[in-house]
Amino acid sequence: MKRILSITFALTMLAALASANNGHGGDQGYAESDTIVSSSGTIFVTSTVIDTSTRTATTTIKAISSSGSLIWTATVSNSRRLVLSGSNLISSTETTASDGTVSTTLTAISTSSGSVAWTRTLSGRVTSLEPFSAGTYAIVVVPATTSGGSASRSLVAIGSDGSVLWTLSLT
């Protein structure tokens, strides 16, 4: 009986450990922004270096062709994530001002050259970026400005050229 309880306890602990490590024993490099593959087979590999003294991060993006050759390398600062949308990689950087207001800057990196295609700053925190045929949808949350106030949410459609196509309030 004691042996069965010990084995059951050990198996439960192993299952809990595996679950705590994303269910498969660790990250294994499949994090959100580690690699992105385009429909042409180009793979975009990212690596981030964090400077703990300045609390900044620099992300390097390498575009590698389907034949294995390096096409271009680009860097972005303090990017939270990258999303492939059409012919651009969209990077988001969040800034909080001293008065507590939040803004998010979206930067589009051209997948063909690695150069900046456009930049758009939105008031609020972008919580989600979803590509669609004509651009990218962004869920934007503007935190409450007063104690006890409520945040506002909106859906913003951004064109492939960086223009705001429309905005719809979700609150």
Strands 35-37 and 135-142: unpaired
Same structural domain, 80 and 2: no
Separation CA 141–CA 2 (nearest Å): 54
Same structural domain, 98 and 154: yes
Domain residue limits at 11: 1-28
pTM above 0.85, yes or no: no
Give the number of C-alpha atoms closer than 13 A to the C-alpha of residue 86, restricted to the C-beta side: 16
When divided into structural domains, the chain yields a total of 2
- Mean pLDDT, residues 11-19: 55
Same structural domain, 143 and 61: yes
Q: Which two tokens stand for residue 165?
A: 């196509």
Same structural domain, 36 and 111: yes
Percent of the chain scored above 90 by pLDDT?
60
Same structural domain, 109 and 82: yes
Asked if 144 and 161 touch (Cβ cutoff 8 Å), the reply is no
Same structural domain, 45 and 99: yes
